[in-house]
Amino acid sequence: MLGSSGIRIDLPKDQFYLGDLISGTIFLELDRSIGARNLRIALNCTLRSLKRETLLFQEVKILDDSKQFEGGIRIYPFTISIPDLRKVDKLEQGFALLKLSDDEIYDLVNWTLIASLDIPNSPDLTVVKSISIRASA
């Protein structure tokens, strides 16, 4: 277990738009050296309807595939693209009304960035950050 270790995502702004690039920084603080598979960042878009929950989009980027991560603070810049969803009817504060089929309307879209240090045989060190994405300026 990692005592005072932590991970956080910093973004230079709070509002993004479909088609934008998100540039940010992951701060990884480890209280000791640890073996890990990699450090990754993912952008997820999850749709919810009365019938189901669907992961519409996920892009994962590996930021560091080291086998040994040294203790201390490490800084990892990243850039990840937001897809331009053409079927958006309304998008406000990260939530949207989408109609993907004739019989089902998705009433909630949740966008998240997830940074994770993949640690074998142990819980991953993970942070989830909700982000706000609008259709246009």
Q: pLDDT digits over 6-23, tens only?
A: 999 999 998 898 888 999
Query: Is residue 125 within 8 Å of 77, Cβ to Cβ?
Result: no
* CA–CA gap between residue 133 and residue 129 (Å, rounded): 13
Domain boundaries along the sequence of the chain: 6-134
CATH code: domain 6-134 is 2.60.40.640
Residues 61-112: tens digit of each pLDDT: 888 888 899 999 999 999 988 877 644 444 444 444 444 454 555 555 788 9
20 compared with 49, residue with greater pLDDT:
20
Quote the CA–CA distance of 71 and 79 in Å, as a whole number. 25
The overall pTM is greater than 0.85: no
